[in-house]
Structure 1
Amino acid sequence: MSGGVAQLKDEGSQRQVAVAGAAAGLVSRFVIAPLDVVKIRLQLQVHSLSDPLSVRDVHGPVYKGTLGTLKHILRAEGLTGLWKGNIPAEALYLAYGSAQFSAYTYISHLLDALPPPYHLPSAVNSFLGGAAAGACATTATYPLDLLRTRFAAQGPDRVYASILASLRHIAEHEGPTGFFRGLGAGVSQIVPYMGLFFAGYEGLKPILASSVIPMPFGTSDAAAGIIASVLSKTAVYPLDTTRKRLQVQGPTRQKYVHRNIPLYSGVTSTLSHIWKNEGRRGLYRGLTVSLLKAAPASAVTMWTYERAMGFMLAMEKGAGEE
């Protein structure tokens, strides 16, 4: 690798990309798991903290901010409460990371191969490749995302005894479509998010790598990932909140830690309901912790990906020279 400035789509084989992407997903998930649980709990909280009357009849916790939520979970559920849903989440990040990077490189190569006059600028290729890869990976791994949300939403009283029990219950009481509740919001969110993220990352990486102030240990990759992720995450955050609200719909809706989650039916109506009843703050509830989560997650993801890819390429080169 030439100082980490080569584009992702030009590095390694499909197998190497898949392995590096999977490794990046696993490591980043381990790092940000507690923040993910805090974020989900805040997104599912529908009462307004500025209106005392709205919490008067609430049967369940009332979370106040990132640190307050973290302390509340530790006090009420112990340290393991911060890793609820971690098993399906690890499987999700493993599968998602592999599918995302594999789809991105494959689609980017297809776009690069377009003949004139259909050849697109590099920035457009990065956006389209990232958007399409995000949509493919989101759809393929969505049931794991739904399970992650439902387990993270469980309070001291467990809704599902195990992952196997949750699979059986959803299949029996909600059918196959139950595993894909909120998929529309997920795809609507991930397409612009991943498109903006990859376009921003590919554009920022060479700039930061060649900056006047050198960044040690490949941290230019991490910095590019942080900036691209924060900007992209903020732009599409209301759809993320919508996805979480839709994922806990169904027969177990009133059994989670928040007992008063409303009944929602679709992406547009959910957005409208949140805006009408909770205002703009409702749509962006948990954004602070989401950005705190997005920064280290993206930094660790891209840093791990680049290091894993560099290691495999070095091993391949060393084997070829023997």
Structure 2
Amino acid sequence: MRFFIAPLDVVKIRLQLQTHSLSDPLSQRNLRGSPIYKGTLPTLKHILREEGLTGLWKGNVPAELMYVSYSAIQFTAYRSVTLGLQTAFGEHRMPAAAESFIAGASAGAIATTATYPLDLLRTRFAAQGTERIYSSLAASIRDIARHEGPRGFFQGLGAGIGQIIPYMGIFFATYETLRLPLGTLQMPFGSGDAAAGVIASIIAKTGVFPLDLIRKRLQVQGPTRSRYIHKNIPVYSGVFRTMQNILKNEGTRGLYRGLTVSLFKAAPASAVTMWTYERVLRILLEMESSGASARD
């Protein structure tokens, strides 16, 4: 699944890193050789024409590693926090929405921090144009460690945590609220879980998207900043200063560059993930119940 949506990920990152206002006359833009992307399909065509088919899969190796690791950590943490809350409160259980929000936010923060270096590497590879800054995954790790130190792998983590906590909280709270009502509609293949995942993803992703964009802008800061496909990326420092800079120079719309393609990418992925999660959880619970019955 991740392999097939990788081109949309590259397009999203390229749009998020584009800093000039499309409403300004071309003569007033300080692009310094940066491409001008307008929309998802034109951006796909531009990358294919200038960088070839492989350009659409830049950063896919660290992205695949991050996807697998993140999902495993996220759902393990979500289940653990949920059970911990239920044990802690006992008979006086929290409302389901509040419990889902806390568990989802906690799981997201843990998984994001653990896999953040892979996220940063994914962004930097996707931001490369025809000029190769990093020749391989191992070379990129050595280069960042040598020139930026350990902190270089966590640039923008504040925005990442600031994004993922409300995102996962809103996502799981919305999902748990919609899952049961949609489950009663008798959709084919039990797709009520998938539909709830799509709606929850759209609501949560739209709500926190500015922080996702800020995270991408901060991830490409450093000694290689001016060598990416967009060579006019300003120097950013801190989440709030970056937001102020974007609002001042690009307007409110600047905080939502790439939102459409992000929703196209995230919604089906969330549908598949949540449908699979519910199926696997049901199987595990049935196995646990069968084991308990056998022991009795």
C-alpha spacing 1:86/1:57, structure 2 compared with 1 (3 Å): closer
1:304 positional shift:
2.8
Deviation at 1:140, TM superposition (A): 0.6
Per the alignment, residue 170 of structure 1 pairs with 144
Shift of 1:203: 1.1
**Structure with more relative contact order (C-alpha pairs < 8 Å, separation 6 or more):** 1
Q: 1:110 aligns with which of 75, 81, 84?
A: 84
- Which residue in the other structure is 1:16 paired with? none
1:277 matched residue in structure 2: 249
SS state at 1:236 partner:
helix
Corresponding residue SS for 1:157? coil
Q: Which residue of the other structure, out of 3, 12, 15, is the alignment partner of 1:39?
A: 12
How far off its partner does 1:175 sit?
A: 0.3
Is the partner of 1:114 in helix, strand or coil? helix
Partner of 2:58: 84
Q: Cα distance, 1:57 vs. partner?
A: 4.2
- What is aligned with 1:252? 224
SS at match of 1:93: helix
The equivalent position to 1:197 in structure 2, one of 159, 162, 171, is: 171
Q: Give the superposition deviation at 1:309.
A: 4.2
Counterpart AA for 1:145: D
TM-score (norm 2): 0.93
Q: 2:204 aligns with which of 224, 232, 238?
A: 232
Contact kept, 8 Å, 2:31 with 2:232, in 1: the verdict is no
Structure 1, gaps ≥5 residues long: 1-26
Conservation of the 8 A alpha-carbon contact between 2:30 and 2:232 = no
Q: Which residue of 2 aligns with 1:73?
A: 47
Check conservation: 1:48, 1:54, Cα contact below 8 A.
no
1:289 aligns with 2:249: no
- The answer to whether the 8 A contact 1:31-1:297 is kept is no
Q: How many residues align?
A: 292
Q: State the distance in 2 between where 1:290 and 1:104 align.
A: 24
Quote how far apart the aligned CAs of 1:307 are.
3.7
User: Separation in 2 of the partners of 1:86 and 1:218?
Assistant: 31
Alignment partners' CA distance in 1, 2:9 and 2:28: 25
Name the structure 1 match of 2:34. 60
TM superposition shift of 1:293: 1.1
Which residue of the other structure, out of 69, 92, 97, is the alignment partner of 1:95? 69
**Deviation per residue, 1:201-235 (Å, 9 max, x gap):** 11111110102xx3101211111000000001111
Partner of 2:113: 139
Across the aligned residues of Structure 1 and Structure 2, the Cα RMSD in angstroms comes to: 2.0
Aligned pair in 2 of structure 1 residues 313, 82: CA closer, same or farther (>3 Å)?
farther
One-letter identity of the residue aligned with 1:60:
S
Q: Percent identity?
A: 65
How big is the shift at 1:55? 3.4
